């Protein structure tokens, strides 16, 4: 399984992120390029343990089952999967280049991050391996969304 902790995989994702610019258009979903970049930086901050959110009610009911589905194979995240409310970006515009660089910097923190006490607001407590897989899949999902 691909993981953000693998150097080659991370470098490939960063290369794809670097192709994004102000003119990048979503192939699906409601987010514009700035909102997607900001959403991804907020997500990375959660997955690196910098921000913590309360568990979603539905996550308490179905989170572990969904986590298993998300991490059991290489299949990508499907289009139009709902976004958790705390990860939704309400601001429509901002500096795309700055947000892109912030996202890359966060991704580059993973090799040295312990990622041992991470609680996802939907999936619950995660192992380091689960963090690696989910971060890869989430990043890939949004890069595919913007045709990168």
The radius of gyration of the chain from alpha carbons, rounded to an integer in Å, stands at 14
Indicate if the pLDDT at residue 56 is higher than 90: no
Q: How confident is the model at residue 55 (pLDDT cuts 50, 70, 90)?
A: confident
Averaged pLDDT for residues 65-74: 92
- Position 58 scores a pLDDT of 84
In this predicted model, what pLDDT tens digit does every residue of 2-24 receive, in sequence order? Answer: 999 999 999 999 999 999 999 99
| Alpha-carbon span 25 to 84, nearest angstrom | 22
Averaged pLDDT for residues 22-43: 97
Indicate if the pLDDT at residue 132 is higher than 90: yes
Averaged pLDDT for residues 21-49: 97
| Alpha-carbon span 38 to 30, nearest angstrom | 14
pTM of the entire predicted model: 0.95
Place of tokens 């890359």: 104
Percent of residues, the chain, with pLDDT higher than 70:
100
In this predicted model, what pLDDT tens digit does every residue of 73-98 receive, in sequence order? Answer: 999 999 988 888 889 999 999 999 99
Q: Dihedral sign, CA of 19, 73, 106, 39?
A: positive
Averaged pLDDT for residues 109-132: 94
Sequence-separated (6 or more) residues with CB below 8 Å from residue 15: none
Collapsing DSSP to helix, strand or coil, 118 comes out as strand
Q: How confident is the model at residue 116 (pLDDT cuts 50, 70, 90)?
A: confident
Indicate if the pLDDT at residue 146 is higher than 90: yes
């Amino acid at each position: 399984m691909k993981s953000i902790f693998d150097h080659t995989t991370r470098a490939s994702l960063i290369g794809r992120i670097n192709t994004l610019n102000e003119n990048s258009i979503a192939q699906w979903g409601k987010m514009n390029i700035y909102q997607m970049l900001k959403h991804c930086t907020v997500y990375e901050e959660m997955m690196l343990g910098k921000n913590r959110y309360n568990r979603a009610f539905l996550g308490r009911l179905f989170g572990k089952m969904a986590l298993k589905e998300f991490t059991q194979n290489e299949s990508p995240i499907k289009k139009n999967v709902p976004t958790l409310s705390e990860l939704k970006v309400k601001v429509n515009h901002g500096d795309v280049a700055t947000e892109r660089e912030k996202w890359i910097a966060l991704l580059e923190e993973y090799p040295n991050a312990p990622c041992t006490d991470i609680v996802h607001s939907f999936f619950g407590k995660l192992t380091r391996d689960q963090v690696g897989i989910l971060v890869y899949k989430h990043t890939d999902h949004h890069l595919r969304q913007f045709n990168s």
